[in-house]
Structures are given as C-alpha cells and as structure tokens.
Amino acid sequence: MVAPAVVVLDYGSGNLRSAQRALERAGATVEVTSDPDAVLAADGLVVPGVGAFAACMAGLTAVNGPKLIGRRLAGGRPVLGICVGMQVLFDAGVEHGVETAGLAQWPGVVERLHADVLPHMGWNTVQAPAQSRMFEGVRDDYFYFVHSYGVLDWTLPASDLMLPPLVTWTDYGTPFVSAVENGPLWATQFHPEKSGDGGARVLRNWIETLA
C-alpha cells in the first residue's frame, strides 16, 4: 500500500517540522512547501498556524494560499487546518479591536475567549458528535491547546440539501469550537501533533480518508 502524499503548507507560520514528523509517524509521506503544483497535487493539505489571525492571513495571502485552498476544496480534495489554520477558515477574526477577513469557508467570528486565565494552554477534553470519524477511537482522550481566541458561536444553519458539518466543542470558561468535520475540510483548534496518542490517532483517522 502506497502512503498518501501530504503537503504541509509553508507560509511562515506554524510548527512545520513537528507537524511533518507527526504526519509521517501517522503513515503519510510529507513535504513542507508552498509550491502551488505540489499543494494542488497532494492527496492531503495541512494548513498549520500559530500566533495572530491577521499575521497568518497575510502569510497565506503572500503564497496564494486562499486560492489554493479554495481550488482544492472545490475539487473535493482534503484539507486539514490546525490551530490558527482552523481559525482562518471562518469569516473573520477580531484581535485588539481589529477585524481581519478570513477565508469564509464557514460563517463565524474568531474572538477572545471568555476565561479568567489566558492563554488556554495545556490539556483539555473534547465533546465530539457520536458519528465523528475524526475522533474514532479517541473519545476520552485529552488534547493539547495553546490559544487565546476561538469561535464561540456556530452559526451555520442545517440544510435539508446537505449534510451539516460535525462540530466538536471544548469548555474553557465558555464553550468554543475545538474541531469541525465538513466533507473534505477538517480542522482542529488543538495541536494533534503535540497531543500524544490521541492526537496521533486523529491524524491517522484523517490520513485514512486520503486513501
């Protein structure tokens, strides 16, 4: 069996090498690049991200990331967003009173968490839908988070014409979206590459969808 080919998008943000190593351990062949031909040809694309929403969007735009991600999704080609790489998939992010447009794959705004202590840094659980494929085999595991912002309100209405996305929640002061499964587009607010056996299983579950 040939290992699926995965590209980790290099746009100047994210734990690129740790993501690469974790994906390789999970069974993929991995290239870290922003080359558009490689991005479009890969079986799966991982969009990492750390730091500020606006900085990540600027980095993505500099490598034509919005267009490349859009082209992949238009063709049903899998994409996995991690941390701020998940946040930029929403309509917008608001940091320090400044709103920055996101990729608008999902409606919603990334905003400051309502918690006494920030950042939310460390291990936490998730509440995943029963039919989740992402969390198959890892229902009771803990995952590693490092963030001060998140999506607090899921606003995409269910439609009789489409399967609604599967939304996973985590509580830290207030509930926030910690993962989404939406056809070829998956995303996690936590870092699966830093989340031990549970995170490794999440990555294997995603890689299995690429075959």
Answer positive or negative: Cα dihedral of 44, 196, 133, 174: negative
pTM: 0.96
Counting every residue written for the chain, the total comes to: 211
* Residues 129, 119: Cα–Cα separation, whole Å: 26
Band of the pLDDT at 114, cuts 50, 70, 90? very high
User: How confident is the model over 12-33, as pLDDT tens digits?
Assistant: 887 799 999 999 999 999 999 9
pLDDT for the residue numbered 140: 86
Catalytic residue ranges: 83, 191, 193
The single residue listed with the structure tokens 């590459």 is 193
Q: Are strands 98-101 and 143-147 parallel, antiparallel or unpaired?
A: unpaired
Residue 143's CB: how many other CB atoms inside 10 A?
25
Phi, psi at residue 208, to the nearest 5°?
A: -65, -25
* Residues 185, 197: Cα–Cα separation, whole Å: 22
The answer to whether 190 touches 200, Cβ cutoff 8 Å, is no
3-class DSSP state for residue 182? strand
Task: Say which range, 11-15, 35-39, 131-135, has the weakest mean pLDDT.
Answer: 11-15
Residue 160 has pLDDT above 70, yes or no: no
Tell me the percentage of the chain whose pLDDT exceeds 90: 90
pLDDT for the residue numbered 163: 77
Burial class (CB in 10 A: 0-12, 13-18, 19+), 185: buried
Beta pairing partners, 8: 32, 46
Band of the pLDDT at 158, cuts 50, 70, 90? low
What are the Cα distances from residue 166, in Å, to 30, 110, 196? 27, 18, 23
Furthest CA-CA distance within the chain: 50
| Mean pLDDT across 175-201 | 97
Residue 1 has pLDDT above 80, yes or no: no
Residue 144 has which token pair? 């590693």
**Mean pLDDT, the chain, as a whole number?**
95
* Domain extents in the chain: 5-208
Residue 170 has which token pair? 């985590």
What fold is seen in the domain 5-208? Answer: Rossmann fold (3.40.50)
User: How confident is the model over 46-105, as pLDDT tens digits?
Assistant: 999 999 999 999 999 999 999 999 999 999 999 999 999 999 999 999 998 999 999 999
Task: Say which range, 5-19, 88-102, 148-162, 188-202, has the weakest mean pLDDT.
Answer: 148-162
Residue 180 has which token pair? 């989404």
Residue 161 has pLDDT above 60, yes or no: no
Residue 162 has pLDDT above 80, yes or no: no
